Structure 1
Amino acid sequence: MPVRLSGSMGVAELVFTVLAFNAPLSIAVGFIPVVIGAGNGLGAPLIFVVCAVLLIVFAVGFTTMGRHLPNPGAYYAYITAGLGRPLGLGCAFVAVFAYFFILIGSYAFGGITLQALVRDMLNGPDIEWWVWVLVLQAVAGVLGYFRISLSAKILTVAMCLEVVVIVAYNAVVLFRGGPQGRPVPALDLSNFTSGAVGLALLFGVTCFAGFEATAVFREETRDPARTVPRAAYLSVIVMAVMYAVTTGVVIIAFGPDAVVAATGADPTGAMLGSFRLYLGQVAVDIVNVLLCSSIFAAVLATHNVCARYLYSLSVDAVLPRSLSVVHPRHASPHRASVAVSALVFLATAVLLTINLEPLRLYAALVGIGGYALLFLLLCTAVAVIPYLTRMRRQGRAISPAASVAAPGLSAMGLAFVLALASRNVAVLFGATQAASNVLLAVVYGLVLVGVVYGLWLRSRKPEVYQRIGRQDI
């Protein structure tokens, strides 16, 4: 019998884990004003609705496949089952790369945010940002060692606090109204296509990243056949409502005539100024504190996802089997978690020697990680079709809508967004075009490395090859 993880996460805990990965308060302060100012302006609320519809359509095939392929491993397992072991292994390497880059970038952002909080708001010592990074790494590493339910409880509390602040801002703005009253320009469909709608779609979809976590923690949920699909749909719906409503409220708060210029000139500064205007300086101070907890929640969620990917690859013997050991008391992939902590520490040390500016580091690493996750979403949507088609031929009760129509439509939508991302990589990564092209080459190069390695395993280690994608359970 292969080693298994175990746990009792429910729907709410799994949804909060997905929300933590996305850091909703950070999105409200940092991403929503970008979608308005640099995207499609007054049509921005509809962007989040469209992106949510796309992911819900994707979830139809995704959750249906999960019911018929109850393997842990998420995208790794699904792509392998649908498109073959070599490509599945290549996509697993991309997933590890994506989450690891997002983790490193989030640590950098957390470091500078904590530095500013202690120095500027609390009037404390000016401690170097990388020292705070080490503190965050230590705390996340300790929590990642223990049972997932401990992390889930912490993430739930952090998310509740973030949601309270966002709801309070929305409620006050809607009650008081903005300089032009309470217009609802999003209802004018002509606004949807205004400005850079493609760029808005690109940033909109990335705000839903982390959707895969609903399947990553499958082994550690209570009744996964019900918990995972419910959490998948609910997480998308909650994020869509929160993002769309908050975006509409931001437009009201600034006024339709001024919001695009204000958010385009200084996205984060404009949002913090709006919080100050409607909720007062105390609220801004609370937002600054909660931004730190939001980033930490995202770091913790990402650390746990990275650990589970290393665990899955080690169970399959693609990585050293020692990483697949489950803690006898905490039922956690504790060795894989320690490995993630060690890799993060080494990567941080290397990046410090390069002396990159932390904000640029954050933008580049999270941007490339988000791009890689878009690629994996597309591959998974395509993989659903052949797998569920085979299941239907074997007599499984699967509708054509779930096996072909929904995944096909989502694949077309995701292909469009990925094409937009490929054309705007410099904007997405916050780097030069040359550097962005190198990062793109790394993503697709990892796919090729995985494919070649998978073919090598097929000829030299067939017993390992058969295990790729958790196919042996």
Structure 2
Amino acid sequence: MSASEYTTAPGPAPAGNHRLAGNMGTADVAFTVLAFNAPLSVVVGFVPVIIGAGNQLGAPVTYLAAGALLLLFAVGFTTMSRHLPNPGAFYAYITAGLGREVGLGSAFIALFSYIFVLVGGYAFGGLALNSLVHDVLHGPDIPWWTWVLVLQSIAGVLGYFKIDLSAKVLTLLMCGELLIVAIWDAVVLFDGGPEGRTITSFSSSSIFSGSVGLAILFGITCFSGFEATAIFREEVRDPERTIPRATYIAIAAMAGMYALAAYVLITGYGPSAVVEATAADPTGSVTASFQTYVGTVAVDAVTILLCTSIFAANLATHNVTARYLYSLSVDKVFPSQIGAVHGKHGSPHRASLLTSAISVVFLLGLALAQVSATSLYATLVGIGGYALIVLLLLTSVAVVPYFLRRRPEGVQLNIWKMVLAPFIAAGGFAVALYLATDNITLLTGQSQTVSNIVLAIAYGMFVLGFVVALVLRRRRPATYARIGRQDI
């Protein structure tokens, strides 16, 4: 059945119709991934942490190294996307390479991760909006969860409609973020800072200074969300070309942007002062640099754009989460009614509504329990980043057996793309996972006990998915065969 047959019928399509519709191009997909990543939030919130608590003056190289590792991963990831036309990204690819049990376990941990990131992002958005209204605009001091409900409502409405609408909104918001960061970059580099432009960051003593492991860990988590290029497979033009291009563009853009921002922050303060400044006040050090070099108007613009950046990330995360629910419903692991496609918009409207409902209930429960929004954001996004590393490792491992054992007929084995690049990437992610586990308290911002509980829940979701697959294999073999859409 063609995509047009889903988009011409009036009203929602029957639950049995399972093809999304859209007309996203390379730029639309790349901007959606960048929006998921919230680049302004990374520049303000993560870059100074890597300088102050990570490998200090070597932070620019950390981002370049993390980007290189992810580009290696993308070699196998995009090669697989050309030969495995299943939506679902990590879920579909891990299933194809490592089996349905591991695939469904990965899908459960991915869904868990995205819901945590979504709820944590909403909490952050509520705090940022309240700060903007109360501290900058001198408006009323409204509880953070009230603003969260506003953000959820807007994201839910946009998520209900065709993905092209969300893509346009995300592109518009992203342009504002990129512009203000580019202005800051240009002014600082032109000025040269108090100690002049320097290559100190690229010396071996700087690259390996401080806590290299922590820097790598946070550096990788700053690239989250690029798998969305494959999640939107059914909604893009010419996916065989669009997905690889968008993936490489997104990773390269993030690596370049964050490495440059780190170098600019170091230049703006001077190598002798920047580590102390960023360690004492990570976020404040960046806004102070904007104040010094671009002025008060720029600081106000950053405050506003930080709110739009967080919302853009929330919208992108909402759309990705909805499509995971959609894929699992199409595969009949979840009730098939959730996987219905809207007849007019070609969107997973029911999965989108369910995503909104889950996030509202989750956040209201936390608000009633009077959980600190700041602590909530750090913990949920931290564990989401940890789960991302697990998924990156499993996907890298899955590429090799897929092409060695299940390579589509007529496809020639390319040792670099199908074996060496994913193998090297898997080694890098294995190291990153070890570092993440060893530094879990720093990643979540919680005690060792709380961090261990959260880790147990994350791995428990994987075990739950694995067990569900075993039960399906015995009791519902037709559904088991559909896991990862392997029978389609």
Check whether TM > 0.5. Answer: yes
Is residue 53 from structure 1 mapped to residue 68 from structure 2 by the alignment? yes
Per-residue deviation, residues 228-285 of structure 1 (Å, max 9, x unmatched): 0000111001111101111101000000000000001110011111110111111100
Equivalent of 1:344 in 330, 353, 359: 359
- Which of 285, 299, 302 lines up with 1:287 in the alignment? 302
Look up the SS of the partner of 2:360 in the other structure.
Answer: helix
Quote the Cα distance in structure 1 between the aligned partners of 2:456 and 2:180. Answer: 40
Q: How does 1:211-250 map to 2 (within 5 A)?
A: 211-250=226-265
Structure 2: how far apart are the matches of 1:430 and 1:354?
19
Give 2:342's aligned amino acid.
H
Structure 1 residue 451 corresponds to structure 2 residue 431: no
> How far apart are the structure 1 equivalents of 2:479 and 2:92?
15
SS in 1 for 2:33: helix
Shift of 1:398: 2.8
Name the residue aligned to 1:406.
Answer: 421
For 1:26-45, what aligned pairs fall within 5 Å after superposition? 26-45=41-60
Aligned pair 1:100/2:115, yes or no?
A: yes
Quote how far apart the aligned CAs of 1:444 are: 1.0
Residue matched to 1:427: 442
Map of 2:274 onto structure 1: 259
1:130 aligns with: 145
* Equivalence map 1:162-201=2 (5 Å): 162-201=177-216
Matched letter for residue 80 of structure 2: M
Structure 1 stretches (4+) deviating beyond 3 angstroms?
391-395
**Which residue of the partner structure matches residue 335 of structure 1?**
350
Counting only pairs closer than 5 Å after superposition, residues 275-424 of structure 1 correspond to structure 2 as 275-392=290-407, 394-424=409-439
Contact 2:82–2:240 (8 Å) recurs in 1: yes
Deviations 1:65-117 (A, max 9, x none): 11111111100000000000011001000010000000000000000110010
Q: CA RMSD in A?
A: 1.0
Q: Which amino acid aligns with 2:262?
A: T
Mapped to 2, the partners of 1:330 and 1:221 lie a distance apart of 14
The 2-side partners of 1:194 and 1:117 are apart by 37
Deviation (angstroms), 1:396? 1.5
Letter in 1 for 2:138: N
Structure 1, residues 346-371: CA drift from partner, whole Å, max 9, x if none?
Answer: 10111112211101100000000110
Q: Deviations over 1:381-426 (max 9, x none)?
A: 0000100112459542231111110110000000000110000000
Match of 1:87 among 85, 102, 107: 102
Aligned match of 1:4: 19
User: Could you report, residue by residue, the CA deviation over 1:146-200 in whole angstroms, capped at 9, with x for unpaired residues?
Assistant: 0000000000011111000000000000111111111121221221110000000
Q: Tell me how far apart the structure 2 counterparts of residues 294 and 411 of structure 1 sit (CA, whole Å).
A: 31
Kept in 1, the 8 Å contact 2:55–2:209? The answer is yes
Summarize deviations over 1:414-472 as a string: whole Å, max 9, x none. 00001100000000001111000011111111111111110110010000000000112
The one-letter amino acid of 2:112's match is F
Q: Deviations over 1:197-239 (max 9, x none)?
A: 0000000000001011110111100000000000011100111
Q: Is the 8 A contact 1:39 1:195 kept in 2?
A: yes
- SS of the residue 1:209 aligns to: coil
52, 75, 78: which one aligns with 2:93: 78
Output the amino acid matched with 1:436.
S
Unaligned runs of 5+ in 2: 2-16
Checking the alignment, whether the CA contact within 8 Å between 2:22 and 2:164 is kept in structure 1 is: yes
Q: Post-superposition shift, 1:6? A: 1.4
User: Secondary structure of 2:104's match?
Assistant: helix
Q: In structure 2, what is the Cα distance between the partners aligned to 1:354 and 1:88? A: 34
2: CA distance, partners of 1:158 / 1:65: 31
- The count of corresponding residues between Structure 1 and Structure 2 is 473
Contact 2:83–2:408 (Cα < 8 Å) also in 1: no
Which of the numbers 127, 130, 134 marks the counterpart of 1:115?
130
1:3-39 deviations in Å (ceiling 9; x for gaps): 1011110000100001001111011100000010000
Alpha-carbon separation, structure 2, partners of 1:234 and 1:435: 37
The TM-score normalised by the length of structure 1 is 0.99
What corresponds to 2:78 in structure 1? 63
The amino acid that maps onto 2:131 is A
Contact 1:108 1:133 in 2 (8 A): yes
Change in Cα spacing, 1:417 to 1:315, as seen in structure 2 (3 Å) is same
Structure 2 CA distance for aligned equivalents of residues 218 and 153 of structure 1: 17
How much does 1:127 deviate?
Answer: 1.2
Query: Separation in 2 of the partners of 1:434 and 1:106?
Result: 23
Q: Contact 1:61 / 1:381 at 8 angstroms: preserved in 2? A: yes
- Secondary structure at 1:126 match in 2: coil
How far apart, CA to CA, are the structure 2 residues paired with 1:110 and 1:324? Answer: 29
1:312-357 C-alpha deviation (Å, 9 max, x unpaired): 0000000011111100000000000000001111101111122111
Paired with 2:297 and 2:87, the residues of 1 have a C-alpha distance of: 45
The answer for the alignment partner of 2:39 in structure 1 is 24
Asked if the contact 1:184/1:248 (under 8 Å) is kept, the reply is no
Q: Which structure 1 segments of 5+ residues have no match?
A: none
Verify the 8 A CA contact 1:16 1:155 in the aligned structure 2.
yes
> TM-score, normalized by length of structure 2?
0.96
Q: State the one-letter code of the partner of 1:13.
A: D
1:396 is paired with a residue of what secondary structure?
Answer: coil
